[in-house]
Structure 1
Amino acid sequence: MSPALRIGAVGFGLIAVCYGLARFAFGLFLPQIDADLGLGSSVAGIVSGGSFAGYCVAILVSAALTQRFGARAVATLAALVAGIGMAGIALAPNPILLAVSVLVAGASTGLASPPMAAAVVAAVHKDRQDATNTTINAGTSMGVAVSGPIAFAMAGQWRLAFGAFAVLAFALAVAAARHLPQARGQRRVPGTLPRFDSAMLHLVAATFLTGAASTALWSFGSQLVAQRLAWETAASAALWSAIGAGGIAGAMAGKLVARFGLEHVHTTFLAVMALSIFAVGSEWVPASAALAGGSLFGGAYVTLTGVYLIWSVRLLPDRPATGLTIAFLMLAVGQTAGAPLFGWLLAELGSNAASAVFAGIAIVAGSFGKFHRLLPTTRKTEDVSCTVAGP
């Protein structure tokens, strides 16, 4: 098997497990977990925010770990952390241990992306790197898509589901240890932090608000349809599959930016995200629109992560890794803040108000995209959106 196929297959599985299962599947099973452990919307938001907080911490140390220990070791560690976190979720007897386990599981996502990027650069021929990275990046949506049918097949047994996910993560750890190269990241160049001028602050604001808005469905999508429509597990699983399936289409972000421009794609897909949040959460929208809203959300979210990759590389063309880290870190910080806020609004004001507020947050995020016109535009952007798996 060629290095591109080997690394692509392992990376696809690793990203699917860490992002699709360890991080985002919690939202799918939240109604069942809430029923068993009595979390309530506010506590559920805090617990869910822990997953995004884990990402924030892990992404700050993953690049350094990759430089020191190599891609194979850190990717293996990411799979092990995902497995430990999901095993903890499966066994959690109370909300406190559940919160700790969710944080650990979420940390695996921050650990996973830098070593995979290093492995591709080190071992895959340059003309195959874009295709390999595209394959790896698709893992997030695939993991989300398959978690829905798994939830349906296990008939509400969330502990059994997370136990199975943990076993899969440990299997990926073995695969990473056997098949990934012992590649280290590029040597770090000493330097100061980038200048936080108006253009950088606009990127920070846009990514923070987009991350916050996305938690309406990443953390509470299943709970929204359960409360609003009294749907059973089968329909909640269908919503999750729709989100994942829609996300696969988001791999076209680079081509859309090349054709229509960053500002138009950014503004349009934030409007789509706002519409999708409202469609799933608001009682004013027909129930039949919920699944369509989930699919739109998946496509919008993955497209927007591609937009922010392109934007951040344009902003710091001489330090692309720094730009990517800032953009994706702020997405996760926004998600960390957004989940508890949405949970509180849901508990205090109901789904109509909570969905309207978070749809509004997505619209506001779109107002910060105009500053990209001050940035360099000479870099090719067609495939940048596929180079790193986003949060």
Structure 2
Amino acid sequence: MKFSRLVLPGVTMIAVTYGLGRFSFGLLLPAMNESLKMSEFVSGMISSLFYLAYCFTIILSTVITTKEGPRRMIILAGLSAFVGLLLMSITPNAWVLALGVLFAGGSTGLVSPPYGAAISLWIIENRQGKANTWINSGTSLGIVLSGVGAILLTPNWRLSYLIYAILAFLILIWNFRAIPKVGASSKIMFKKGNLSIRGVKGAIPLILASLILGISTAPFWTFSRSFIEVAGDYSDWQLSGFWVIIGIFGVLGGFSGSLIERRGLSFAYKLGSLAIALASIILSVTTGNWLMSYLSAGIFGCSYIFLTGVLLVWGIRVFITNASLGIGVPFLLLAVGQVIGSILAGWFIGTWGYVTSFILYGLVGMVATLIGPKKS
């Protein structure tokens, strides 16, 4: 299959599910808190539902993709994103918002493993690493769109989510037409993979690294925008611009595949995990300075997308016989960490404040640099 025929719809689907469905929540959260009268603790709990839903759906998606192939889960992911975003656009209270969050968060878990499987089926082997990391960078495109939308539509967060839902529906149709079927009528038969992680060499470091990175990154996604709004004197466009910077620099994370090829997986992992830890610490001590806050956003956006690309390649190398499991395991543990990190962040911020909490999470990220793949 032609590289762009699979990668382009993949990038847009990831943009909708991750960028618009999941990570735009932190950008729009202050306006939602004001409209729905939610405390930081409640918004932290609702935010954790993104990751909780992700944990369940990525398991489901990994199992079904391993047995049946990628098409069904990709289509279901688009449908879940559409329903979640639509519910969030019409929500009258925090309960309906939470339901929309479950659907939107679930879409991200559904979509990751099948795209790994699709690439292993239809992209030639020496281009699969680049295809995976570029599809993964679609998150950045969605974040940029959400930031631009916030600038243009502030403070109409309901209208923003309605527009996102329409985009999700259109991209669902594109993927429905683009993703081939596998089976009796296809030139490619899908080979069932092994779902077990028992005895897989290198699985434990991958699991620990993913979990710790998930914990350390959760507060930045949920509370960084609220943090700079409280700590600095920013206009609405500057606050939304902070989010756009995360997305724009996140596109650079798509080059993780190229860096892995040149310097090795271990070097790429250590570089990414150190950078993402520094992003939280820089933000915590320079929030009132818009230039340094934007620098922190750029480092975080680039290093997050970069690191998820590294985890993706690392996982596929560890679970070499099952690409969907190789993506599912690290992304699942990343989400488990984000569930823990998001719930605790709301409580920590309410108790100790933003500065102490972000420094603490930056130090947790530093721990992740000690765990990584062996030199390769």
Regarding TM over 0.5, the answer is yes
Q: Greater CA deviation, 347-356 or 3-12?
A: 3-12
Q: Greater CA deviation, 242-251 or 267-276?
A: 267-276
- Compared with structure 1, are the counterparts of its residues 219 and 186 closer, same or farther at alpha carbon in structure 2 (3 Å cutoff)? farther
- Compared with structure 1, are the counterparts of its residues 196 and 361 closer, same or farther at alpha carbon in structure 2 (3 Å cutoff)? farther
Q: Greater CA deviation, 353-362 or 90-99?
A: 90-99
1:337 positional shift: 0.9
Q: Distance in 2 between matches of 1:129 and 1:311?
A: 13
Match of 1:107 in 2: 106
- Compared with structure 1, are the counterparts of its residues 284 and 230 closer, same or farther at alpha carbon in structure 2 (3 Å cutoff)? closer
Letter of the aligned partner of 2:218 in structure 1? T
The 5 A counterparts of 1:301-316 are 301-316=304-319
The 5 A counterparts of 1:80-95 are 80-95=79-94
- Compared with structure 1, are the counterparts of its residues 195 and 79 closer, same or farther at alpha carbon in structure 2 (3 Å cutoff)? same
- Compared with structure 1, are the counterparts of its residues 138 and 202 closer, same or farther at alpha carbon in structure 2 (3 Å cutoff)? closer
1:120 positional shift: 3.6
Letter of the aligned partner of 2:361 in structure 1? F
Match of 1:282 in 2: 285
Write out per-residue CA displacement over residues 82-102 of structure 1, whole angstroms, 9 at most, x where no aligned residue.
010011111111112211211
1:267 positional shift: 2.7
Q: Greater CA deviation, 40-49 or 308-317?
A: 308-317
1:69 positional shift: 5.8
Write out per-residue CA displacement over residues 212-255 of structure 1, whole angstroms, 9 at most, x where no aligned residue.
11112111121111111142321121111111111111122233
Q: Distance in 1 between matches of 2:130 and 2:337?
A: 30
SS across alignment from 1:195: coil
1:136 positional shift: 2.5
1:122 positional shift: 3.8
Q: Distance in 2 between matches of 1:264 and 1:290?
A: 26
The answer on 1:332 being equivalent to 2:335 is: yes
SS across alignment from 2:182: coil
Match of 2:186 in 1: none
- Compared with structure 1, are the counterparts of its residues 78 and 280 closer, same or farther at alpha carbon in structure 2 (3 Å cutoff)? same
1:37 positional shift: 1.1
Q: Which runs of 5+ in 2 are unaligned?
A: 184-188
The answer on 1:14 being equivalent to 2:46 is: no
Q: Distance in 2 between matches of 1:128 and 1:367?
A: 30
Q: Greater CA deviation, 269-278 or 162-171?
A: 269-278
Q: Kindly indicate whether the alpha-carbon contact (under 8 Å) linking 1:152 and 1:237 is maintained by their aligned counterparts in 2.
A: yes
Q: Distance in 1 between matches of 2:119 and 2:126?
A: 11
The count of residues paired between Structure 1 and Structure 2 equals: 371
Q: Kindly indicate whether the alpha-carbon contact (under 8 Å) linking 2:129 and 2:313 is maintained by their aligned counterparts in 1.
A: no
Write out per-residue CA displacement over residues 139-186 of structure 1, whole angstroms, 9 at most, x where no aligned residue.
111111121111110021100000110111111122222232113784
Q: Distance in 2 between matches of 1:60 and 1:317?
A: 18
193, 199, 205: which is aligned to 2:197? 193
Letter of the aligned partner of 2:192 in structure 1? R
- Compared with structure 1, are the counterparts of its residues 336 and 135 closer, same or farther at alpha carbon in structure 2 (3 Å cutoff)? same
1:74 positional shift: 2.6
271, 275, 295: which is aligned to 1:268? 271
Q: Kindly indicate whether the alpha-carbon contact (under 8 Å) linking 1:274 and 1:362 is maintained by their aligned counterparts in 2.
A: yes
Letter of the aligned partner of 2:285 in structure 1? S
The 5 A counterparts of 1:40-189 are 40-66=39-65, 70-124=69-123, 129=128, 132-183=131-182, 186-189=190-193
Q: Kindly indicate whether the alpha-carbon contact (under 8 Å) linking 1:316 and 1:322 is maintained by their aligned counterparts in 2.
A: yes
Q: Greater CA deviation, 160-169 or 97-106?
A: 97-106
Q: Kindly indicate whether the alpha-carbon contact (under 8 Å) linking 2:113 and 2:327 is maintained by their aligned counterparts in 1.
A: no
Letter of the aligned partner of 1:195 in structure 2? G
Q: Distance in 2 between matches of 1:347 and 1:282?
A: 18
CA RMSD of aligned residues (A): 2.5
1:128 positional shift: 5.9
Write out per-residue CA displacement over residues 321-367 of structure 1, whole angstroms, 9 at most, x where no aligned residue.
43332211100100111111111111111111111110011001112
Q: Distance in 1 between matches of 2:79 and 2:173?
A: 9
SS across alignment from 1:372: coil
Letter of the aligned partner of 1:236 in structure 2? L
- Compared with structure 1, are the counterparts of its residues 87 and 352 closer, same or farther at alpha carbon in structure 2 (3 Å cutoff)? same
Q: Distance in 1 between matches of 2:137 and 2:70?
A: 20
Q: Distance in 2 between matches of 1:100 and 1:77?
A: 17
Match of 2:226 in 1: 223
- Compared with structure 1, are the counterparts of its residues 188 and 304 closer, same or farther at alpha carbon in structure 2 (3 Å cutoff)? same
Q: Distance in 2 between matches of 1:131 and 1:201?
A: 25
Q: Greater CA deviation, 2-11 or 161-170?
A: 2-11
Q: Distance in 2 between matches of 1:136 and 1:268?
A: 21
1:50 positional shift: 0.5
Structure 1 length-normalised TM:
0.87
Letter of the aligned partner of 1:165 in structure 2? Y
- Compared with structure 1, are the counterparts of its residues 264 and 154 closer, same or farther at alpha carbon in structure 2 (3 Å cutoff)? same
Q: Distance in 2 between matches of 1:208 and 1:311?
A: 14
Q: Which runs of 5+ in 1 are unaligned?
A: 378-391
Q: Kindly indicate whether the alpha-carbon contact (under 8 Å) linking 1:118 and 1:183 is maintained by their aligned counterparts in 2.
A: no
1:211 positional shift: 0.8
SS across alignment from 2:374: helix
Match of 2:296 in 1: 293
